[in-house]
Structure 1
Amino acid sequence: MLSLINWRLKVTVNDGRAFVGQMLAFDRHMNLVLAECEEFRRVRPKKKSGETEAGPAQEMKRTLGLVILRGETVVSLSVEGPPPAGDDEKKNAVRNPSLFSGQPN
């Protein structure tokens, strides 16, 4: 799990919803912290009187931002994409403070 920090993940929970976001943290209970998170869920329209079947299910999308998911509800994880390209530059800057000062290494 540690190797997935900052990666973009799709997390499915037991009620059928899916959350897509950048994983910032996790713990031993599989609680997850996702940044820039979006929620996806399937919604079936209600039957109108006189109809035998409801229309096709629609996928609803909602932007949530920072989310904490309880590990007990997590059903599956899958990788949606790599970490953002800017993260490598930030890590190098923290390891090498002279990048900020303008002085040679």
Structure 2
Amino acid sequence: MGSAEGSPRFSVFNGVKIIPSTPEVLMAEINTAIANLEYFDVKMADEAYKAGCAALAAGKLDEALHSLNLSLSKCPPDKTSAVAKLQSLISLTSQQLHKSPN
């Protein structure tokens, strides 16, 4: 094992194509990769919001909190009004959940 004629040796740099020339370029690439991983879905956020409101109306606080958190996670951050509304509802629901006897 480890002979030169066998399989090539593993290196942590095997998958690296190019190394960015400056820290700024590296940070830009990292930010782009993060943005590509984030997935916002307005329709899913709206459906989760409606489910959360229905659960609140039915007194199902755990379910409401779950749905509202899902809605917040799928809501695009540029929708500041919706984000603020969801954060407020989540806070109020969480407070009610902690007050209610189990």
Q: TM-score, normalised by structure 2?
A: 0.20
Q: Comparing both structures, which one devotes a greater share of its residues to strand? A: 1
Select the structure with the greater relative contact order (CA < 8 A; seq sep ≥ 6).
1
More helix by share: 2
- What TM-score does the superposition give when structure 1 sets the normalisation length? 0.19
